[in-house]
Every structure is written in C-alpha cells, then in structure tokens.
C-alpha cells in the first residue's frame, strides 16, 4: 500500500489507480514512459506558474508538449507569468520538482488542463514522491479533477 498525499486524496474520492515505482532515478520523460510501459504522451506533467506574489495556477500538459505562454497569458488575462521555482513549488504544492500533482495540495489551486491530457485511455501523474507515479484512466482523472478548465495551450 502506497501512502502519499496524492493517493490519500484519490482514495478519499474513490478513484481507482495503481502506483508504479521506478527502479532508479528518472532522467527523462521518455525514460519515465518506457519504464511505465506507456507512450510519452501518456505522462502528464503538472506545471506551476506564478501570476503574482501569492497567486499560482497549475497547467496539466501531456508528454513533451510545451505550454504556449502567449496562449496561457491571454486565457488568464495577464501580461506576465513566470514558472514557479523549486522553493515556490515546495511551498505552494508541498511537492518537489518531478513529483507534482493536482491532488493532495495543501490548499486549493486553480488547475487548467490542455485537452491532450484526456486523449489517451490511460495516463500517469505525479504521486507526490519522486520516482513513484500514479497510473489511472483519463476518464477517472477527469472525474477526480471535477470541474476543470479544459483549454488548448499547446
């Protein structure tokens, strides 16, 4: 039984998943996907952007797809955004780089998902612990996220 803030959050809302422990350090998206038996686009990255002093937003992206910053700024109605640094990430999510998830956060955060996140039948997301991932269906991810902003950002 794996116990992380993410697995506790998913258990609390009865979302089925399975945990996968990587055999060693993960150095790339491609390696993570290969070890999980997935394609890179099934690996969902949780990216955190700082909008202002204490205002952050999480963007879920599939695989190696990059966020078009101009599209994100336009959607959010802001002229400037930055990526959260490692210290900010730890404070606002409780997680280290490579383990971030939209679940089990210390306080609610706005989450936006690129539609590509829900394209594969099965995806994997951060578990809150580096080297450990949570694998679930994209249908269950959408259900777990509840009312989610689904916006093309790639």
Q: Which residues pair with 55 in a beta bridge?
A: 52
Domains: count for the chain: 1
For residue 2, the model assigns a pLDDT of 85
CATH number at residue 82: 3.90.960.10
- Cα 101 from Cα 94, distance rounded (Å): 10
Q: Which of the residues in the chain have pLDDT under 70? A: 1
Domain that holds residue 49: 5-150
For residue 53, the model assigns a pLDDT of 85
Enter the pTM of the model. Answer: 0.95
- Cα 2 from Cα 31, distance rounded (Å): 22
Q: Which residues pair with 149 in a beta bridge?
A: 112
Q: Do the Cβ atoms of 140 and 17 come closer than 8 Å?
A: yes
- Cα 133 from Cα 123, distance rounded (Å): 10
For residue 109, the model assigns a pLDDT of 95
Query: Half-sphere exposure (CA, 13 Å, Cβ side) for 72?
Result: 25
For residue 70, the model assigns a pLDDT of 95
């Amino acid at each position: 039984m794996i116990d992380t803030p993410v697995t506790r959050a998913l258990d609390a809302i009865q979302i089925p998943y399975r945990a996968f422990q990587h055999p060693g350090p993960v150095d790339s998206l491609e390696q993570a996907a290969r070890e999980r038996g997935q394609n890179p686009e099934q690996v969902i990255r949780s990216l955190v952007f700082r909008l202002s002093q204490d205002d952050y937003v999480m963007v879920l992206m599939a695989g190696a797809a990059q966020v078009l910053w101009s599209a994100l700024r336009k959607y959010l109605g802001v002229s400037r955004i930055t990526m959260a640094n490692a210290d900010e990430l730890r404070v606002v999510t409780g997680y280290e780089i490579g383990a971030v998830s939209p679940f089990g956060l210390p306080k609610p955060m706005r989450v936006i998902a690129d539609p590509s996140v829900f394209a594969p039948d099965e995806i994997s997301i951060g578990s809150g612990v580096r080297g450990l991932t949570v694998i679930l269906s994209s249908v269950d991810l959408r259900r777990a996220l509840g009312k989610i902003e689904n916006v093309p950002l790639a």
